[in-house]
Structure 1
Amino acid sequence: MNVIKKQAFISTIFSYAGVLVGFISWFFVFPNFFKKEEIGLLQVLLSYMYVMVQLSSLGFNAAGSRFFVRFRDAQKGHNGFLFLGLAVGITGFLFCSIGVYFLKDWMIARKGENNLLADNFYFLLPITFATLLFNLFDNYAKNLYETVTGTFLSQFLQRFLLLASSFLVVFHVLDFAQYIWVWVLAFSFYVIPMIWKASKLDGFSLKPDFSLLTLQFIKQFATYSILTILTGFSSMIILYIDKIMLAEISTLEETGIYSTAAFFGSVMGMSLLALNKASAPIIVDSFAANDLKNIDTIYRKSCTTSLIVGCWIFLGIYLNIDNLFAFLPAGYEEGKWVIIILSLGKLFDLATGLNGTILTLSPYYKYDTYIMISLIGLTVFLNWLLIPMYGINGAAFALALSTIYYNAVRYAFVWWKLGMQPFTIDIPKVLLIMIAAGFVISLLPTWEGNKIRTVIDIVYRSAGVTLLYGVIIYWSKVSPELNGAMTNLWKAIVKLGKK
């Protein structure tokens, strides 16, 4: 548990530092210096990329995490784990690339307000390959209990490089047609330090070793891989099909507005993402040792902790939403309800914690595959139904409803099959504290007028809600882990002040 707390805490710091950088990029720089359709193009390429990465990996990362206890042996180079991962990943990438070549016309069909996507479509391939390699080596490091580096590189460094590269457009050094080459390089660079870090871990080896690959083990590994391909593909569908279908049914311009607003939903999920990465190897080992009590403890604490952080971020977003849109060009205000809808859906996701990770790594992982297959149909149907009716708000409703669906079903299966139910009285306490703190801060007078007054309003409103919400959370003792972290942080500040 101490390993999880330490790495999750450090990872969360890097994640939210990356959020700040991403916020500056996607909410200030890109909307003010790039066209809406250019933002839409970048987001559609990323959406296709994440789906393609999932298919290219052929389920190896998920299966590798589950069975890494069999591979783990530093003296033997972890029994050829990385060689096998590279072989599977490169094979999958080649097949997917061939598929993309033949499906290109279908994938860019009806985006016809201009040829922007068609002209830049093949930039999809290098960013896919770089992300595929990064995920493999990050997953390898994670299985050796080193989760911080991958989080730093993917959540902070990559976003910082993207922000830095965008200033080439801001200062008119490059036009967009030239910039996208730099964007690909900035996006892909993080794989280099990830490989270097992985090479420094005990037991690193790229040599082949087939000693573990008995027919029985290959069958187990392949079966799990195939099932997790479907599960992972479904996860990518729910996260990215909204942008793909919005660009297809509507326009890249609308997709740009939606993607800018949707950034806030992703911000709220950062704490749970950090917990997932830190907890997964511990959960694997706990299942191997049949230590269900430890998993149940992690499950309950993850729900409370991630919800506390998510509620704090939601308050910051909701109470400042009008101020934030004051810094955006005309037209982006259409995304206001997208932010609210997606944020509420994300709160439900946070409240149910690590249900997906636990179910996927449990002996009942097949159920998660069935859930996620049903999710594909539901998500596509909801987007198909709601986007024509409500535009970008319809895409937001589809994503929020899909999020609620798969978390509710996963929660039910974990309770049914493993007897783990994470909800305690602390969950409604956190929600009541959020509502009360939000109500009090909403009564504060608004500083209206120029941009400087707007910034002041954001700062004092955010500081007020952080102080009020934080004090009540600390006083209520709903999370001993967060209380301990807050106490240690305060001691560090006091100690620094005395110096």
Structure 2
Amino acid sequence: MGIVLNQSLKNTIITYIGFAIGGINTIYLYPVFLGATYYALSNYIVSSANVIMPLFAIGMQNTLVKFYSQYQTDEERSRFLSFTVLFPLLLIIPFILIGLFYYDEILFFVSKKNPVVKTFIWLIPIIGVCMAYFEIFYAWLRVHMHSVFGNFIKEVGLRSASLILCIGVYYNWISVEGFIYATAVVYLIALLITMFYAFSIKKPVFQFTIPENAKGILEYTFYIILSGSVANLLLDGDKMILNQYMDIKNIAYYSVATYIALVISVPSRAMHQIVYPITAKLMHENKHDEMDALYKKTSINLQVVGGFVMLGIFVNINQLYEMVPPEYAGGIIVVFIIGLSKYFDLILGNNNAIIFNTKYYKTVLILGVLLVILTIGLNMIFIPIYGIIGSAFATLLSITLYSLAKLLFVVKKLELYPFTKQTGHSIVLTLFLFLVFYFWEFPFHPIISIILKSGLMTIAYVYLNYRFVISTEINQVIDTLLKKLK
């Protein structure tokens, strides 16, 4: 796993830097500088764009990764790259025209509970198109084993730009309304930078020609659209539904909680960027034993790293919420609920990459669509009764069922199994340390308390994981560091 470990470590560091910047934005700058209403509005616009993004991309980012390695000549690869860039326009243009035709009806539907949405609704498709093409050019870089640059733009660049815009709001350089318009400009700039960098890695020769295996590509693309829609609806669909039932400020409270919980999934996001094309190659070459070994390694490594992050969040959650306005405190339970769902999804390793590179992906994707319907239904039931906690519970139930379905499918159909005895040991160890540190409070400023508790927890977690050899690869990394220190 040389190149995997190398780029995964770089991507993990970059992603955590991005999440640290995002944490500053989410926990302090957005609530204080934008206020709950405009923070919620900004989040609603971006989340809605993220939901429609898979339709605009037509799954080309995943299709590019799956099929690129199957072409043998530079000419075939160049034609395929052209196809992945130009083909989405066949769906983007009709969707935008339909949106313009039914603009008044759409406007009435999304703003009937929160009229403030009306002014900015047209930004959603613009940001959605920018997101779609960013992902396509990011995939362009990944198939050429250049995942770090795109990850930097996505995780650090976008959040740093938001931080600068927040500072602009604070010094009255821009208004809170201008912040939302500027956010759309930032996504456009991110797209252009990534596009030109992708062109510098592999110069394009644009020609709209249908690839030889067009039927297989289009069939795969259709199901990947479903997959992307399922994943993004599970991630951001709840915020769209909250807008229909509750005051828009509740999206801000919910967003802070879900962002904190989302940090748990960072290791998976980082490793996925480079593991996906390697998984595609192993599956294409039918190397079952190597694939099974990779599956187990990704599972336990992500569990150890993700478990550490989850533990750090859970034991410090009360201190974290002391640093945000009091009205956000109702989101603490949401952090626990969403956090557990992310942890369970994390320990499945590269499960998604395996499924999307087999002939069986259709069945699981159809199941995913059914679960999205279930998620929407559960949100419509629980939000009016329990508010944002009801939405979190609906998400937990849906993601858990979906993850279980994918796990059982891979085990039964492909005879690949991610878990070992270390999986159980890691869960017990994480639970033990949670019980030890959660109820241990320091009578200091929240930041000092977080630093002290996190330091002690880190020492205990690293030592116990190393002592019981939960992950041989992580132990090897620690051994290497210890040798260098000596």
Long gaps (5+) in structure 1 = none
- After TM superposition, list the pairs within 5 Å mapping 1:301-380 onto structure 2: 301-380=297-376
Equivalent residue in structure 2 for 1:292, among 288, 293, 303:
288
Please tell me whether the aligned partners of residues 130 and 188 of structure 1 are also in contact (alpha carbons under 8 angstroms). Answer: yes
Could you tell me how far 1:5 is from its partner in structure 2?
A: 1.4
In structure 2, distance between residues paired with 1:463 and 1:189: 39
Give the equivalent residue in structure 2 for 1:66.
66
The letter for the 1-side match of 2:115 is N
Distance 1:299 1:108, change over 3 A: farther
In structure 1, distance between residues paired with 2:68 and 2:346: 27
Please tell me whether the aligned partners of residues 12 and 266 of structure 2 are also in contact (alpha carbons under 8 angstroms). Answer: yes
Give the equivalent residue in structure 2 for 1:134.
134
Distance 1:332 1:19, change over 3 A: same
Please tell me whether the aligned partners of residues 276 and 350 of structure 2 are also in contact (alpha carbons under 8 angstroms). Answer: no
In structure 1, distance between residues paired with 2:196 and 2:458: 38
In structure 2, distance between residues paired with 1:28 and 1:82: 42
SS in structure 2 of the partner of residue 361 of structure 1 = coil
Q: Is 1:159 matched with 2:159? A: yes
Give the equivalent residue in structure 2 for 1:193.
193
Give the equivalent residue in structure 1 for 2:449.
457
Give the equivalent residue in structure 1 for 2:388.
392
The letter for the 2-side match of 1:393 is I
In structure 1, distance between residues paired with 2:482 and 2:89: 48
Please tell me whether the aligned partners of residues 441 and 461 of structure 1 are also in contact (alpha carbons under 8 angstroms). Answer: yes
- After TM superposition, list the pairs within 5 Å mapping 1:179-190 onto structure 2: 179-190=179-190
Give the equivalent residue in structure 2 for 1:482.
474
Q: Is 1:83 matched with 2:87? A: no
Could you tell me how far 1:490 is from its partner in structure 2?
A: 4.7
Please tell me whether the aligned partners of residues 360 and 368 of structure 1 are also in contact (alpha carbons under 8 angstroms). Answer: no
SS in structure 1 of the partner of residue 356 of structure 2 = helix
Please tell me whether the aligned partners of residues 44 and 244 of structure 1 are also in contact (alpha carbons under 8 angstroms). Answer: yes
Give the equivalent residue in structure 2 for 1:54.
54
Give the equivalent residue in structure 1 for 2:266.
270
TM-align CA RMSD: 1.9
In structure 1, distance between residues paired with 2:190 and 2:290: 34
Could you tell me how far 1:29 is from its partner in structure 2?
A: 0.7
In structure 1, distance between residues paired with 2:482 and 2:335: 32
Could you tell me how far 1:185 is from its partner in structure 2?
A: 2.0
In structure 1, distance between residues paired with 2:36 and 2:42: 10
Distance 1:340 1:445, change over 3 A: closer
Give the equivalent residue in structure 2 for 1:43.
43
In structure 2, distance between residues paired with 1:108 and 1:8: 45
Distance 1:383 1:220, change over 3 A: same
In structure 2, distance between residues paired with 1:383 and 1:292: 40
Distance 1:123 1:489, change over 3 A: farther
Deviation per CA, 1:391-432, whole angstroms, max 9, x where unpaired? Answer: 000110011111101110000010111001111111111111
Deviation per CA, 1:109-136, whole angstroms, max 9, x where unpaired? Answer: 2644542211111112332222122111
In structure 2, distance between residues paired with 1:188 and 1:14: 21
Give the equivalent residue in structure 2 for 1:424.
420
Q: Which stretch shifts more, 76-85 or 142-151?
A: 76-85
Could you tell me how far 1:209 is from its partner in structure 2?
A: 6.4
The letter for the 1-side match of 2:361 is Y
Distance 1:408 1:167, change over 3 A: same
Please tell me whether the aligned partners of residues 113 and 244 of structure 2 are also in contact (alpha carbons under 8 angstroms). Answer: no
Q: Which stretch shifts more, 190-199 or 48-57?
A: 190-199
Give the equivalent residue in structure 2 for 1:97.
96
SS in structure 2 of the partner of residue 190 of structure 1 = helix
Deviation per CA, 1:259-296, whole angstroms, max 9, x where unpaired? Answer: 11110222111111122221111111111211111211
In structure 2, distance between residues paired with 1:140 and 1:32: 38
Could you tell me how far 1:107 is from its partner in structure 2?
A: 5.9
Q: Is 1:117 matched with 2:117? A: yes
Give the equivalent residue in structure 1 for 2:6.
6
Give the equivalent residue in structure 2 for 1:148.
148
Please tell me whether the aligned partners of residues 15 and 155 of structure 1 are also in contact (alpha carbons under 8 angstroms). Answer: yes
The letter for the 1-side match of 2:294 is I
SS in structure 1 of the partner of residue 87 of structure 2 = helix
Give the equivalent residue in structure 2 for 1:245.
241
In structure 1, distance between residues paired with 2:220 and 2:329: 45
The letter for the 2-side match of 1:146 is H
Give the equivalent residue in structure 1 for 2:409.
413
Distance 1:107 1:351, change over 3 A: farther
Deviation per CA, 1:235-264, whole angstroms, max 9, x where unpaired? Answer: 111111100001111121111110111102
Could you tell me how far 1:106 is from its partner in structure 2?
A: 3.3
Q: Is 1:468 matched with 2:464? A: no
SS in structure 2 of the partner of residue 200 of structure 1 = helix
Long gaps (5+) in structure 2 = none
In structure 2, distance between residues paired with 1:486 and 1:60: 39
Q: Which stretch shifts more, 119-128 or 338-347?
A: 119-128
In structure 1, distance between residues paired with 2:475 and 2:297: 13
Please tell me whether the aligned partners of residues 223 and 362 of structure 2 are also in contact (alpha carbons under 8 angstroms). Answer: yes
SS in structure 1 of the partner of residue 70 of structure 2 = helix
Normalized against structure 1, the TM-score is what?
0.93
The letter for the 2-side match of 1:213 is P
Distance 1:114 1:243, change over 3 A: closer
Percent sequence identity is 23
In structure 1, distance between residues paired with 2:443 and 2:10: 35
The letter for the 1-side match of 2:471 is S
In structure 1, distance between residues paired with 2:107 and 2:338: 26
In structure 2, distance between residues paired with 1:368 and 1:79: 31
SS in structure 2 of the partner of residue 422 of structure 1 = coil
SS in structure 2 of the partner of residue 435 of structure 1 = helix
In structure 2, distance between residues paired with 1:89 and 1:302: 32
